[in-house]
Amino acid sequence: MYTAEEKISILFGEVGISSVKFFQVWDLFDGAEDLAANIHRSETAEKLLGNSFYVICNGIKTHEVDNIVSKMEKNDVVAVSWFSADYPQTLRYIDEKPYILYCKGDTGLLSTDCLAVIGTRKVSSYGRRITKDFTALLCDNFTVVSGLAYGVDSIAHETTLENSGRTIAVLGGGLLNIYPSSNQGLADRIVANNGLLVSEYGMNATPLAYRFPHRNRIVSGLSKGVLVCQAPAKSGTNSTVELALNQGRDVFVVPGEIYDAGFYGSNRLIKSMQGACVTTPRDILDFYGIDHELSNGNSYQMSIEEQSVVNALSEGQLSFDELVVKTGISAAELNFLLANLELRSIIAKLAGNTYRLYGGIE
C-alpha cells in the first residue's frame, strides 16, 4: 500500500507535473490531506499548474490514483517517491530532484554503488571496444547506469548483462513506452536479469526530445562517478558531464584518436579537467581503492594468442619488437591484442613502446 503522500506523488507524476512545480505546490499545504482537501481553493496552485490544475483537482475528487496504482500493479511497476523510505539518498540533494521514480525491476539497486557509463549514439568500432572492455570489468564492482539509447548506452547495458552484472536504465519516456522501440527486448532482458528500469515520467509518457537531457541529471545523480567512453564535439554526453560536476560526482574520460571527430568532445574534456583521463578500468578501480584481483565477477577468458603474450611477459617487460619475435604474432594482430589486454588491466604499456604485466617485473 502507498501512503497518502506517495499517492499524491503518483497522481502528479502521471499528470506530468515537473519536479520544480510539484515541490512549489507541496509547500503551499500542510501535508497530503491538506493538499487533497484544499488544492481546489488555491489560486497560487492554479497559477503554478496551469491547465493541469483542473486535471489534478478532478483526479483527487474521483480517486484516480487508485486506477493508476491498479495499472501499475498489472504491469509490475512500483513507485518510489520522495516520501518513500527507499528513495535513493544519492538523489535527495541534487538540483531538481525527482519527486517520483516509476520503477520496474529490482528497486534495491537504487541504494547500491553505481557508475554511469555514457557516450555517443554514433559509436565507432574503437568506442564500442572501449565500452565493452571497461564495462566488463567495472560491472563486477558497480551497478552500471546508462540511458538505454543507441550506441554506448546499449552496449554498456548489454555488456553488463553478458557478464552477469547489475544495470539500471534511466528512461526519457514512460516505462510502457520504451524508446527507441527497438530496445524493448533489451529493456525486457534488463528486468528479467534483476536489473532496473527507472523513469520520472508517467507510465505511458511520450519520450519527447527535451526529456532526454533532463533525465541525465538522474543518470549522474544515482552514480558515484561518470565514465565517458566516446563523445563528439556536440553531444548530450557533455551536458551529463556538466550535471555530474555540479553534483560533485567524479568524471572519467577515455581518450581517443586526435584526428577522429567522434572523440573531439572526449579529448576536449580531458584537456579541461585535470585527472579525468583514464586508459584502463584499473585507473577507476584504483581511484576508489578497489583491489580488482579480489573481484568476485566472472574471470576474463583469454584467447590462445593473448595467453602467449602474457606468457612472454611473465619473465619481465619486453618491447613491441621483442614480443613480435617471442610470440610469432604479426605486428598488426599484436597491436590489437596489446590494446585489448591493456584495457582489461592485464598488461601495462610503458615508455618506449614497452610492455609488462600488471604487478609484474619492472
pLDDT of residue 265: 93
Report, as an integer, the average pLDDT of 8-28. Answer: 98
Report, as an integer, the average pLDDT of 182-191. Answer: 98
What whole-number distance in Å separates Cα of residue 362 and Cα of residue 350? Answer: 10
- In the CATH hierarchy, which fold is given to the domain comprising 304-357? Arc Repressor Mutant, subunit A (1.10.10)
The residue type at 242: E
pLDDT (tens digit per residue) in 144-159: 999 999 999 999 999 9
Report, as an integer, the average pLDDT of 81-105. Answer: 96
CA-CA-CA-CA torsion sign (187, 190, 193, 194): negative
Q: Is 188 left (phi over 0), alpha (psi -120 to 50) or beta?
A: alpha
The residue type at 100: I
Which of 340, 342, 335 is CA-nearest to residue 358?
A: 342
Which of 66, 106, 108 is CA-nearest to residue 87?
A: 108
pLDDT of residue 339: 85
**Second-level CATH architecture of 107-294:** 3-Layer(aba) Sandwich (3.40)
The two beta strands, 114-119 and 225-230, are parallel
What whole-number distance in Å separates Cα of residue 323 and Cα of residue 308? Answer: 10
User: By percentage, how much of the chain surpasses pLDDT 70?
Assistant: 96
Helices 52-61 + 4-15 axis angle, to 10: 140
pLDDT (tens digit per residue) in 303-362: 888 889 988 988 788 999 999 999 999 998 898 889 888 877 788 888 888 998 865 433
The reply to whether 304-357 shares the fold of 107-294 is no
What whole-number distance in Å separates Cα of residue 247 and Cα of residue 241? Answer: 10
Contacts of 313 (CB under 8 A, 6+ apart): 323, 347, 355, 356, 357, 360
What whole-number distance in Å separates Cα of residue 184 and Cα of residue 282? Answer: 33
User: By percentage, how much of the chain surpasses pLDDT 90?
Assistant: 77
Report, as an integer, the average pLDDT of 117-138. Answer: 93
Report, as an integer, the average pLDDT of 10-14. Answer: 98
pLDDT (tens digit per residue) in 210-267: 999 999 999 999 999 999 999 999 888 989 999 999 999 999 999 988 888 999 999 9
- Provide the mean pLDDT of the chain: 92
Give the DSSP letter string of 216-258. HHHHHHT-SEEEEEE--SS-HHHHHHHHHHHTT-EEEE----T
What are the domain boundaries of the chain? 1-74, 107-294, 304-357
